[in-house]
């Protein structure tokens, strides 16, 4: 077993308490919290309501234009960039990702 010589040393009381806890767990005693059923996180998250988050009646009114001849799609970040942002000719990699 590896020993971390830089770690702070435990006092005798801490070592005794740790060994008591280890003996209790190996003797078959159950942890008091082990029988509890975990709450479903998804169900819990659905119950949260963020302020102003009801956007069901909103419609997007953004016009999406296709990629232009002087643009390329970066193969790393998948953003459409102008040719001047290309790292090197022939590579579809923007300067930020290179």
pLDDT at residue 36 greater than cutoff 60: no
Instruction: Report the pLDDT value the prediction gives residue 23, as an integer from 0 to 100.
Output: 78
pLDDT at residue 67 greater than cutoff 60: yes
Give the residue with greater pLDDT, 62 vs 76. 76
Look up residue 24 and give its DSSP letter: H
User: What distances in angstroms separate CA 71 from CA 8, 63, 77, one per listed residue?
Assistant: 57, 18, 14
CB 63 within 8 A of CB 42: no
Instruction: Report the pLDDT value the prediction gives residue 34, as an integer from 0 to 100.
Output: 57
Give the residue with greater pLDDT, 48 vs 35. 48
Instruction: Report the pLDDT value the prediction gives residue 38, as an integer from 0 to 100.
Output: 64
Q: How many CB atoms lie within 10 A of CB 35?
A: 7
Residue holding tokens 């070592």?
Answer: 15
Measure the CA–CA gap between 21 and 7, rounded to whole angstroms.
21
Give the pTM: 0.38
Q: Give the closest residue to 77 by CA, choosing from 88, 69, 85.
A: 85
Phi, psi of 42 (to 5 degrees): -65, -45
């Amino acid at each position: 077993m590896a020993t971390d010589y830089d770690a702070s040393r435990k006092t005798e009381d801490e070592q005794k308490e740790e060994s008591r806890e280890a003996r209790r767990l190996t003797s078959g005693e159950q942890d008091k919290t082990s029988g509890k059923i975990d709450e479903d996180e998804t169900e819990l998250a659905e119950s949260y309501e963020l302020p102003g988050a009801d956007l069901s009646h909103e419609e997007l009114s953004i016009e999406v234009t296709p990629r232009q001849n002087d643009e390329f799609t970066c193969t790393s970040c998948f953003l459409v960039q102008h040719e001047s942002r290309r790292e090197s000719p022939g590579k579809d990699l923007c300067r930020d990702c290179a």
